[in-house]
Structure 1
Amino acid sequence: MNRPVLAAVDGSPASLAAARWAADEAARCGAPLRLVHAWPWPQRAAPGLPGVSEVRGQALCLLADTAEDLRTDHPDLNVCTALLDEPARQGIVAAARDARLVVLGSRGLGGFTGLLLGSVSLAVAARADCPAVLIRDEHQQPPAGQVVAGIDAHDPSEAVLEFALETAHSRGADLRVVHAWDPPPWWRSSPEEQRADWAGAVRAQKELRELQQVIRDHASGDVKVIEEVRPSGAAKALLQAAEHADLLVVGRSGRGRPGHLGSVAHAVIHHARCPVAVVPHG
């Protein structure tokens, strides 16, 4: 089964940027693209508001126009559209169950529906069964040829690493794997003092060896992998490493805890300049 790339659109700049990113990704990996718009359609309109048929017609036009624009850039791309008669969070999570990944705008007021897509995106990223990629509408960085992934060398997520490797391979990009570790308080000083601290340097080398072992257990020769350890908090380390990256890949904290995004994923979603992929640990 060739699972689709799913993109949720609501007319906001962020969601349209997400649809373009999703189309590029689907074309790159040879997958179909499915555009969805979710809204709990009422049986009758409230007084003073547009009728149900009118609002549904606007949603259908949005989907059709977006699909047509994307086909212009990707003539061979298989694009289908669907209206989901559910609240956005539940509808998109349900639609993503058979998807390769789901792509959403990370912020923005949602067009004619008034949907606050930012809150929906966070909820979907915390609950989707597949990786969720969140896109900022102002993302205009030129391709850097590098994917960055955050990996805990002491408790590595195979799902995160496999997704990052597959994505780097499909893009022909390098993969920078970053492991952050907390140094002792006396080591939080200047770089010169850090290098002179023998105990701290030994610890840093130990952390690097553990990360390298994780990579050896999973990586293949198809992707150039750069291992990096940083004596820092995880969110700060990842934001610095991914400043010019094409994609930042992080795991969803809390195995077996649906709805729990985690502090690191939450921080990088709000502050990363590049798209962020949140991968459930599985």
Structure 2
Amino acid sequence: MGKLAEAQVCTTGTFHVWRTLLNWFSFLFQIFLQLFRGPPSFGRVLAFFGLRQSLLCSPSFPPFKPLPVDIQSDDVPSDLPQDKPIDRLTVVLDLDETLVCAYETSSLPGSVRDQATEAGLKWFELECVSVDKDGEGKPRVNHITVFERPGLHEFLARTSEFAELVLFTAGLEGYARPLIDRIDVNNRISLRLYRPATISTKYREHVKDLTCLSKDLGRTVIVDNNPFSFLLQPLNGIPCVPFSAGQPEDMQLIQVILPLLEQLAMQKDVRPLLYEQYHMPEWFQKHGIPTSAPV
């Protein structure tokens, strides 16, 4: 009887030992499965021991909310400081030998007109009223032949897209007005100034004072084949090559003047760039005309 009781106690103890070993094997097997599926997180390891991660590390701030990937323009505050837009450029254009060249029809050799026509140069004849009187006291009518500088109409069209165009000529209105009407049929030129608008100076006659257009000359430029026309504002001038009927291949307007004007249209002040390009104050000084220092 005693031996039977000892056998039962031994069997019961052995059973508990095997049960404990099976539990540990099961625990290790679960860990092995987690490692096989992927590295276990810190929270999962704690869970195996019956612990909660929140008890060990409770965050003291709310979870981070990521910003949107794309920020639309409507999300930008409208009260941010903006650069002040610059004024529209004012381009003052000379007429004779800058945009066109004109000759009295009676004194123009026919060979010149024929050669210009063969070269593709556009020209037309025009009647202009002169200040002179005929024998009956009536205004004399002059007949002139006008040659257009190559690229003239394209130049006016493209320049008018970014600038106000002003025509300023030392010619008389009776001659210049019908000529401008002919080359500017689309009215791209907003203002016309004739000889009475020029002034006389100690050094030259028929000088074009740009202050009659604006007191602030930072956004004003004049294109003229005669530099003495802008001697009062040497930093605002573009001296262009004079045009004649014998230059059918001339491309000054499109290839030289227009690109420069497009660049000037982006400047808050045109004078520093024009000074760097032409150094006109020094040019005038060489011709005995003192000028103010460059800006």
Query: Normalising TM by the smaller chain, what interval?
Result: under 0.3
Higher relative contact order (CA 8 A, sep 6+): 1
TM norm structure 1: 0.28
Structure 2 length normalisation: TM-score?
A: 0.27
